[in-house]
Chain A
């Protein structure tokens, strides 16, 4: 039986990176995808189980208070998804709003957490990285120059 992994697609370029990765991993693993509800371009051809989750911070309404309010139903949905999931590991690539489900998975569902710092971070550290660094079992940077994570490894770039 193939092992299962979960990819949390963060939208735009974040999604793009994980889809490149999923192409490389799909022979080896069953893949579960978590995508945002109501995304404009949500109809990509994904092979595997798809979970939809509320987006607490849609691009057209990034109001911080509404985001915090939306985190309540989000958390509820995330726990439901994680309870159904068979994944051994969760892989995320940002943005920050994709980190809570990974965090919950790590803390309450004993899933391994793999964080890939976005390819746009040549030298700087993303908010996702700051939030999730200490909970990650494995961290990848995509530029050698990025020295922000003592335990990160460089294994090339997805683009």
Chain B
């Protein structure tokens, strides 16, 4: 199964392209559409779910919006991900982190919305494991407030 997620916002274009993709391939596609208005014709879909993790676990490949929260979560779970940036969000900042993680080989950044091409690439691609950096922001805050 291929799981597509757009997060909490709306991302019409990704939903549309994912729906088109499901016409071209045999693999089952399930789309989490968030607040998008487009209704998929071929793929299975839902707006929001409490069982996000179950879908993630089941998915062979995940096609995701570029929200860093989702990306880090998926990378930590060692999932193979194809990411498209939602350029309508604020100031296009999603591209920055995607370029960075793409450079590190942790994910496939699909800039041109050619999901079919990206999927073909993902089948052969050797995804690098994401190394979660250490975090001591909490300790800095504690010592600062003391």
Chain A residues with a Cβ under 8 A of chain B: 3, 5, 11-13, 16-17, 21, 24-25, 28, 40-41, 59-60, 88-89, 91, 95, 112, 114, 116, 118-124, 126-127, 137-138, 140, 143, 153, 155-159
- Report the nearest A residue to B137, measured CB to CB: A155
In the bound complex, what is the Cα–Cα distance between A48 and B77 (angstroms)? 29
In the assembled complex, the CB of B42 is this many whole angstroms from the nearest CB of chain A, namely 26
Assuming the contacts A13-B69, A41-B8, asked whether A59 and B145 have C-beta atoms less than 8 A apart, the reply is no
> Please, how many angstroms separate the alpha-carbon atoms of A159 and B134 in the complex?
9
Contact assessment for A11 and B137 in the assembled complex, using a CB-CB cutoff below 8 Å: no
- The complex places the Cα of A60 from the Cα of B70 at a distance, in Å, of 21
- Minimum CB–CB distance from B145 to chain A (whole Å) comes to 6
B48, B68, B137 interface centre (most CB from chain A within 10 Å): B137
Asked if A156 and B134 sit within 8 Å, CB to CB, the answer is: yes
Tell me which residues across on chain B come within 8 A of A121, comparing CB atoms. 93, 96
Contact A156 B137, beta carbon cutoff 8 Å: yes
Evaluate contact between B140 and A140: CB separation under 8 angstroms: yes
